[in-house]
Structure 1
Amino acid sequence: MKLIIDSELRNIAGPRIKEARLKNNMTQEELSIKLETLAVYIDRASISKLEQQKRIITDIELIAISQILNVSINWLLGLNN
Structure 2
Amino acid sequence: VVDRLNLQAIVPSAQTLQEQSSRMHLKKLKTVVTYWATRQIITYNVPPLAFIIAANTNVNTGALINLYSDLQKVAIEDLFNKS
TM-score band, normalised by shorter chain: 0.3 to 0.5
Q: Which is greater in Rg?
A: 2
Q: Which has the higher contact order (CA 8 A, sep 6+)?
A: 1
Higher helix proportion (structure 1 or 2): 1
TM-score by length of 1: 0.32
